[in-house]
Amino acid sequence: MSRHAAVMSTAFGSVEHGATKSPAGLLLAAGAGRRMGTPKALVDGWLERGIDALAAAGCSPVVVVLGAAAQQARTVMQGLKVVVVVAADWREGLSASLRTGIAALPDGLPAVVVTLVDLPDVGQSVVRRVRTHGATPATLTRATYQGRPGHPVVLGKAHWPGILDAANGDVGARTYLDQHAPTLVECGDLASGWDIDWSYEAISSGVSRA
C-alpha cells in the first residue's frame, strides 16, 4: 500500500483546551546562493512569496531564518509580520538554519511547517494541502512532486529532538525523515517543487534536501 496520502479535510492544528492551535511557519532563507551568484534572501520577490505562502495557509507565527546578507534582507521585510532570526553558523548548511529556526519558536506550538526560500512555484495551495493531513505534535508529513520528496514538511513537536540530533551539514531533516517514514502528500499537480539553487544537481544525482 502506498504511503502517499489521499487529500482529505481534517483539522489544521491540534486542539488544546478546546481551541485549535495552528502550526508555525518556518522559512529557511540563510543561503549564500553560490550557484546563483547572489544570496537567496535578496532575490527579488522570494522572501515575500515564501512568507505569503506560509501566512496565507494559516501558519502562525511565521519565522524567517537569515544568514548571508542578513542586514540587507531585513530591509526587504520591513513592515511584514514575521519573526526574524539570524543563524550565526549558517555556513554550516541547512541544518544550522533549521536548528536556529526551531530554537526561535514560541512555546506551546504543536508543529512547524518548514519550507525553503528558493522554491519559486510552491505557494499557499501546496502548504494548505500538506497541512490538511494534520499539524499535531505527532505529525510527520512531507510534500512530494511526481513522487520526488520535497518541501514543505510538517514537523510535529514530538519529533523536534530527534530531528535536531540527526541534522547535519546541508541535509536538514532529511536523515530523520528517511528513517521515520513521513506521510507523503503528492503536490505535483500544484507545483514543480524544484529548488532553484539545487535543481541541476538534483536532476543529475537524485539529491533532495529537507
**CATH assignment at residue 146:** 3.90.550.10
pLDDT score at 202? 43
Contact indicator for 117, 82 with CB cutoff of 8 Å: no
In-domain check, residue 45: yes
Q: How many domains does the chain have?
A: 1
pLDDT score at 37? 76
In-domain check, residue 186: yes
Q: How far is CA 46 from the centre of its chain?
A: 14
In-domain check, residue 85: yes
In-domain check, residue 5: no
In-domain check, residue 6: no
Catalogue the long-range contacts made by 50-54 (C-beta closer than 8 Å, 24 or more residues apart): 50/115, 50/116, 50/117, 50/119, 51/25, 51/27, 51/77, 51/80, 51/82, 52/123, 52/124, 53/115, 53/122, 53/123, 53/124, 53/126, 53/127, 54/25, 54/26, 54/27, 54/113, 54/115, 54/124, 54/127
Angle formed by the axes of helices 46-56 and 124-131, nearest 10° = 40
pLDDT score at 44? 87
Domain of 75 in residue numbering reads as 14-205
Per-residue pLDDT of the chain (210 residues; tens, 9 = 90+): 333 332 222 335 555 543 458 999 999 999 988 777 789 999 989 999 999 999 999 999 999 999 999 999 999 898 999 999 999 999 999 999 999 999 999 999 999 999 999 998 999 999 999 999 999 999 999 999 999 999 999 999 999 999 999 999 988 899 999 999 999 999 999 999 988 765 434 433 444 445
If residue 56 lies in a helix (H) or strand (E), which one and from where to where? helix 46-56
In-domain check, residue 194: yes
In-domain check, residue 44: yes
Closest CA to 59 of 104, 114, 1: 114
In-domain check, residue 146: yes
Q: Whole-model pTM?
A: 0.86
